[in-house]
Structure 1
Amino acid sequence: MASSSPFFHHVSTCIVKPPPQPRTQLNLAPFDLIMLSFHYIQKGLLFSNRLMPPLTIADVVDRLKTSLSAALAHFYPLAGRLVTEEARDEKGNVTGIYLSIDCDGQGAEFTHVVADGITVSDVLFSSTDVPSVVNSFFPYGRTINYDGHVLPLLAVQLTELADGFFLGCCFNHAVGDGVSYWLFFNAWAEIARAGGVAVELSRSPVHDRWFIDDQKAPIKLPITEADKFTERFPTPLYRERIFHLSAGSIARLKAIANHDGMTFISFLQSVCALLWRCITRARRLPAEQNIRCSVAAQNRARLNPPLSPDYFGNCVYPISTATTAGELLAHNLGWAARLVHERVARHTDDAIRKAVAAWSAAPVIYKLNVHGPFTVMLAGSPRFDVYGCDFGWGKPVAARSGAADKFDGKVTFYGGREGAGSMDLEICLEPPFMRALEEDEEFMNVVSPPLELQEMDDFRHALVENSQSS
C-alpha cells in the first residue's frame, strides 16, 4: 500500500482484473520454489511531464488500468494467487506440501498516490545516494513471496510527482525472474502505446513450467509449516548509490582484463571482477578471509534444448566463485576475471540438471542470508530492455528499485539510458564500505564522474530537445 509518510497522500486503490479465462492451476517448478522466502521484485520507471505529450493524470491512470487488464490476459498467472495443498500418508499424517499458482483471475492491485512537493530532480539529483523516498514508490515493502497466498502476485503503484510520476511494480518472484518481469513490463507498455486495447504482442510469454526431464508432477516440499522455511529479515543498514559506466570505459576495462593476448573475458565478466576486487578492498578484510562472488546466472539459453527467451517463470540460479581476500587483491583484474569466466563456463546444461536433481532430492528454500557476509552478489542485467518501456508518453528518464532483497554487497545491473553498451550499477554497501569504495582509485577511474552532474546534463538536454520539437 501507499507509504505512511506525510508527503504521500493516498488517492485510490483498486483491483484490476483480466478478461475471464478458464481457471487453471500451474505447478511451481524448482527455480520458482527456491524463491519463496525472498522478496517480491521491486522495479520501476521515472517519467517527466516535460518529456510527455499533454496528458492529465486522469488520462495516465485510465490508460494504465485499461492496458494492465489487457496485459494480464497474456500474463494470466500474475492475476492469480499462490495455493498450498497438504500431502498426507496412508494414515492421514501431513508429510509435506505442494505449492502452485491458482490462475483464477483474482486480479492485480493498482494504487494511485500523490507525493506532495517531490520532483523528478529530487529523485535523480538530491544527493550522492539514492534518496530513501524512492522506497515509498513501491507497495508491500519487504514482503516475501510466500505472502502471495493472501496478497496479489502483482501490485502497481503510480506515484504522482510535482512534475512527473513514478510507476513502480511489485512482482512475486516465485512467479518469475528478471527476464519475466521485464517481458511483462514491456508487453504492458506495448499495449498502452496501442491505446490500451488487446493487441498481438511482439513477444508473447511461454507459460509451460520447466521441470527436469520434463517431470510435470508437482514437487513435494518435505515441510509442514511455513515458518520452518520462510524468514523475515529486518531491513539492514546500507547506503545505496547508482554508478554509471560508459561504453568506452567498459571497453577499456575489458581490454585490461584480457591481458597477455586473452580474448575470452566478456564485458560483463570484466565488470564483475572489478566490483569483486574493489568491494573486497573497501571492506578491508584480513588476507585469509574466504570470500565469494555470486552471479545470478540466466539458464534459458544454457539448457539443451534451450528454453524460449520468452519463458515466463524463474530460470535463474546463483553460481559462486571463491577465493581469499588476500589472493584476490594480490593479483590483477585479469586474474579475477578469469576466475569468474571459468565458473561461468562450467555452468552448462549438465551442471544445471545435476544441481536441480540434487535439489529435488532434498528440497530447500533459499533465504536472504544464503550468500554470506563476505559475498558480492551480482544480479539484474544490462540486456534487459528497461528504457524500451514506452507507454505512449516517451522514454523513462531513470529506473530505480525498492528495498526488496537489498543488503551489504548487493549489486544490480541496468543498461544505461543512452544505450550503446553503457550500464548503471546499483550498489548497496554498509556506510563505511561505501565511503571506502568512493575513494577507491581503481573503481573511480572506471565510473563516469560525477554521476549526478552527467545525469542532470543529459536530462536537461532532453528537455531542451523536447521543447524545441514541440
Structure 2
Amino acid sequence: MHDNLIARPSSVKVVEVCRVAPLPSSTDSSIPSDQSLVTLFDLLWLRFLPVETVYIYEIPPTTNPHIFYDSILPKLKASLSLTLQHYFPLAGNLIWPQDSPKPVISFAQGDSVSLTIAESNADNFTYLSSNDFVDAKDYHPLIPPLEVSDERVAAMAIQITFFHNRGFTIGIIMHHAVLDGRIAFLFYKAWAHICKLGTGILSSSSSMSLPDKLKPFHDRMAIHDPDGLGELYANDYLNQEGPNNRSVTHRIPPKVFPQDLVRGTFEFTRANIQTLRDRVVKTTRVSDPSPLHLSTFSLGCAYTWICLVKAGEIKGEKTAMIFGVDVRSRLDPPVPDTYFGNCIVGRVAVAETKGLTGDDGLVVAVKAINEALKSLDDGVFSGAELWVSKFLDFSLYDKIYSIAGSQRFEVYGTDFGWGRPKKIELVSMDKTDAVSLMDSKNGGGAVEVGMALKKPQMEVFASLFAEGL
C-alpha cells in the first residue's frame, strides 16, 4: 500500500494513526462478513479518482486546552465505530479476484477504517473557513491518504485535524465505485446523529439504532441488469491498458495537478434564482412549444456554466457540462433512497460556445440542460452500452465542465454536537475540474457552488457572477 497524495506540509503534524472497526452491537456478536459484486452503476466509477471532502467545525474558545482530546475526539471515535455497524462496507476494500468476472466489495471480520489524528500549527482556521479565495493546496493536508494498490483499495479513510482553541476538521476520502454522493452524505449524517444524540456511546457494548431515513439498504441484488451491462463494462476495463487489467484504482501523478489554484464559493439566494427564472421566462418566446423546467438546479448550473465560459474566454465551437442524475426512483422496480452503492447516471449538456456568451446565454444553457435531462424519457439505460468505452468523446468539445454534489443532500445540517459546519469543501475537484453544488451554509433555501480556478480567472468569474445577479 502507498499514499496517493503529495507530501504533507509541516503545518500539519500527525499525532496518531489508528484503526476503527465496526463495533459489534449488544445483540449481535459480530458484523457479518460480506462480499458483494459491484453493480453496473458502481463500475462506471471504477477508475475515477477518489472523492475528497473536508468539513470545518468551530468550537467555542475554552480555557481547557485538553477538551478536544478529553471529550470531542473520544466521542467522534466511539460514534464512528457505532455508525460503521450500519455502514460496514466502508471498513472493507474493493478488490478484483482473478476468478471473479467483476470487482468485489469485500468486508471481513477485523476490517477497519484508517483514522488519522493530526494537529495544525498554522494560524489559518479563519482563512480556511471563510468565503475568501483560499489557496486550494491549503486544504490538501487535511485529507488522509487512501490505502491503495493495483489489487486492493480501501473503501474509505478519515482524518480529524485539531486547530488549537479554534476548531477541527474532518477530512474524508472515499472510493467512488463503493458508493455515490447521496450515500456518502447519508453515512456522514448518521455519524453526526449518533455522536450528537447517542448516550453511553463510550461503552464497549453499546449499540444504537438509526432512524429509517439514515439506515442504508445493502442489497445490491436489487439492481437488475438483464442486458448484462455490468459484464460488458467489466470487459471494457479488463481490456484497457493491456489484457486482464484488474486494477481497481486510477492514479494520476501529483505533478499533473495544477498547484496554483484558488477555491471560491458563490451563493444563489432564493431571490437570485427567482431573478434568473424571470429572466428566462421573459427572454423565451411565447411561441416556444417546449416549456422549460426552470428548477433551482437547472438555473444555478446554467448561470454558473455561462460565467465559467466567459471567465475562461473559451474560443471553441462547443462546450459541454456533465452532471449526474440519481435514478433510484426511476428503476423498474425502484430501489430505496437509502440504497447503499452507486445509482446515478451521467448526462451531458452541449451548447455552442458563442451562444453561451451571447445576450441569451442563460436561455441557451438552460435549454441544453433541459434537453440532457429530457433524454431520461428514453429510459435510464438509453445508450448505456457505451457508457464505459465511449461515454464522452473529449475531442468534440473545447471545454468540458462537470457538476459534483447536490443541494438536496442538505450537508450543512450535520451537527456532531458542537454546531453546524462553518464550511464544506469538495477538495478533489482540484483534480477533476468539477464544480461543487450543495445547500448553502446560510440556509433559507439558498444553494452554493464552489470551484477551483487560477486566481485571475477566479476574479473574473466573481465579477461576472455578481454583475449578472
How many residues align structurally? 428
Supply the AA of the counterpart residue of 1:352.
Answer: V
Q: Contact (CA 8 Å) 2:96, 2:103: kept in 1 or not?
A: yes
What per-residue deviation string (whole Å, max 9, x for no partner) do you get for residues 259-293 of structure 1? 3565631121011111121211222233x522112
Task: Identify which of 173, 176, 180 aligns with 2:176.
Answer: 173
Task: Identify which of 155, 160, 163 aligns with 1:161.
Answer: 163
Closer, same or farther: CA 147–38 of 1 in aligned 2, 3 Å: farther
Find the aligned partners of 1:376 and 1:227 in 2 and give their Cα distance. 27
Task: Identify which of 305, 311, 334 aligns with 2:339.
Answer: 311
Q: In the alignment, what sits opposite 1:419?
A: 443
Q: Contact (CA 8 Å) 1:14, 1:109: kept in 2 or not?
A: yes
Matched, 1:78 2:106: no
Find the aligned partners of 1:309 and 1:147 in 2 and give their Cα distance. 32
Q: In the alignment, what sits opposite 1:236?
A: 258
Q: In the alignment, what sits opposite 2:207?
A: 198
Quick check: 204-213 or 169-178, which moved more? 204-213
Matched, 1:27 2:37: yes
Q: Contact (CA 8 Å) 1:292, 1:375: kept in 2 or not?
A: yes
Find the aligned partners of 1:32 and 1:405 in 2 and give their Cα distance. 20
Find the aligned partners of 2:182 and 2:325 in 1 and give their Cα distance. 11
Partner secondary structure for residue 356 of structure 2? helix
Runs (5+) with no aligned partner, structure 2: 25-29, 239-243
Closer, same or farther: CA 156–368 of 1 in aligned 2, 3 Å: farther
Q: In the alignment, what sits opposite 1:459?
A: none
Partner secondary structure for residue 98 of structure 2? strand
Deviation at 1:302, TM superposition (A): 2.8
Q: Contact (CA 8 Å) 1:231, 1:367: kept in 2 or not?
A: no
Runs (5+) with no aligned partner, structure 1: 88-95, 448-470
Q: Contact (CA 8 Å) 1:296, 1:318: kept in 2 or not?
A: yes
Supply the AA of the counterpart residue of 2:309.
Answer: T
Q: In the alignment, what sits opposite 1:253?
A: 276
Closer, same or farther: CA 313–199 of 1 in aligned 2, 3 Å: same
Give RMSD over aligned pairs: 3.2
Matched, 1:433 2:457: yes
Q: Contact (CA 8 Å) 1:38, 1:405: kept in 2 or not?
A: no
Partner secondary structure for residue 435 of structure 2? strand
Q: Contact (CA 8 Å) 1:384, 1:415: kept in 2 or not?
A: yes
Closer, same or farther: CA 52–311 of 1 in aligned 2, 3 Å: farther
Q: In the alignment, what sits opposite 1:136?
A: 141
Q: Contact (CA 8 Å) 2:292, 2:367: kept in 1 or not?
A: no
Q: Contact (CA 8 Å) 1:11, 1:113: kept in 2 or not?
A: yes
Q: In the alignment, what sits opposite 1:383?
A: 408
Closer, same or farther: CA 116–248 of 1 in aligned 2, 3 Å: same
Task: Identify which of 295, 299, 310 aligns with 1:266.
Answer: 295
Q: In the alignment, what sits opposite 1:122?
A: 127
Deviation at 1:101, TM superposition (A): 0.9
Find the aligned partners of 2:448 and 2:303 in 1 and give their Cα distance. 14
Partner secondary structure for residue 133 of structure 1? helix
Find the aligned partners of 2:421 and 2:129 in 1 and give their Cα distance. 12
Closer, same or farther: CA 406–133 of 1 in aligned 2, 3 Å: closer
